[in-house]
Amino acid sequence: MIHNEEKLLQRIKSGDDEAFALLMEQYANQVYALVVRIIQQREDAEELTQDVFIKAYEQMENFSGRSSFATWLYRIAYNCAISHTRRHRVPHLSIDEGRIAAVRDEDIEQMEGDLSDHNIDALMEAIEQLNAEERALVTLFYYEQRPITECAEIIHQSESNTKVRLHRIRKKLYLLITHSKDETEQ
Amino acid sequence: MKQSNNAIHRATLRRIQPQLPAGFGQRTMLRIRRRERVRELIQYAICGTILIALFAQCLQWVFTRLSVRFDIDFALPKFDFSAVDFVLVKNLAIIAVPLILMLLLDSYLRLKMQAHFLFKEEKK
């Protein structure tokens, strides 16, 4: 698969746009899923996904191969989707930092270990209330199951910073599912 | 904790995976090709403008700064007001020569663009 991808990338760099169409076919749905999860709008997501692939095609010469093609593509998708949410100022819930810091690690472990339908449904709703950057990280780490190093590269953060962010997201999710009524909408 | 036994992971899986509508790839490739075409046209327009501007500047130098005289040996038609007529003929030449060259340049660019796009179409 990777070998094929390298061949395709070489063909694209030499000006073969048919090879790009093949590569797009391979990643289109994954990129679309990430974009939909970040911007939470299907209407704009298709156009945004197109923008991602157009940018990737135009910047292909800058792809050095230092990271995998998927990571590079996801990074473009992340940037496009986050810029879109900033332009459209999508409202999200804001929680007091003091309350987030007060959540105990045991509570998070308990929440993550509770596989009851009730807990999973509540978590599903809570994820939708996170801000765009947090939803992106949840999608990359939990849904896509990408390693921390890749997630960090996609969201332009250091590995340790990404771990801290994930921990903060878990605490926020815990607060959202336990104290959802107390939240104030921004 | 294994991801499969993690409630957050399961919550992300529970949401229906969105699927792109059919024909997405074709539409995107169409947009990519259209953008390429527009970019090429802009490049040609910029190059053409620079060429014309340079040529006009050269002509201006030839006739004003360098004061080049063209001593033509064959018999010119005689006019009653030769001094006035010479200025008129010179002005006409200044307008006509760049115009002809611009037309030639335009034809050349058109041929180049046509050849380029035909090549691209064949590749498809």
What CATH number corresponds to the domain at position A113?
Answer: 1.10.10.10
Residue A54 has a pLDDT of: 92
User: A39 and A114: one domain?
Assistant: no
How many interface pairs between A and B have CB atoms less than 8 angstroms apart? 94
Nearest by CB to residue A143, choosing from B12, B19, B32, is B12
Hey, is the C-beta of A40 within 8 angstroms of any chain B C-beta?
A: no
Distance CA B15, CA B35 (A): 35
Residue B102 has a pLDDT of: 86
User: A18 and A98: one domain?
Assistant: no
User: A70 and A100: one domain?
Assistant: no
Among B1, B6, B12, B26, most A C-beta atoms within 10 A, so best to mutate, is B12
Residue A101 has a pLDDT of: 82
CB contact under 8 A, B8 and A24: no
CB contact under 8 A, A20 and B13: no
User: A81 and A139: one domain?
Assistant: no
Which residue numbers in chain B have pLDDT < 70? Answer: 1-4, 62, 65-85, 117-124
Domain hosting A152: range is 93-185
User: Is the pLDDT reported for residue A39 higher than 50?
Assistant: yes
User: Is the pLDDT reported for residue A52 higher than 90?
Assistant: yes
State the first-to-last Cα distance of chain B, in angstroms, to the nearest integer.
50
User: A123 and A170: one domain?
Assistant: yes
Tokens in use for A182? 């107390």
Q: What is the pLDDT of residues A127-168, one digit of tens each?
A: 988 888 999 999 999 998 899 999 999 999 999 999 999 999
Q: For chain B, give every domain's residue range.
A: 22-123
Neighbour count for residue A48 (Cβ, 10 Å): 21
Q: Is A66 exposed, middle or buried (0-12, 13-18, 19+ CB in 10 A)?
A: exposed
Among B8, B16, B117, most A C-beta atoms within 10 A, so best to mutate, is B8
CB contact under 8 A, A50 and B27: yes
Instruction: Specify the number of domains making up chain A.
Output: 2
CB contact under 8 A, A143 and B13: yes
In the chain, the amino acid numbered A93 is: L
User: Which of A43, A72, A88 finishes a domain?
Assistant: A88
Smallest Cα distance from B18 to chain A, Å: 6
Query: Over the range B12-22, which residues count as b (16 or more CB within 10 Å of their CB) and which as e?
Result: beeeeeeebee
User: A56 and A118: one domain?
Assistant: no
Pairing relation of β-strands A184-185 and A93-94? antiparallel
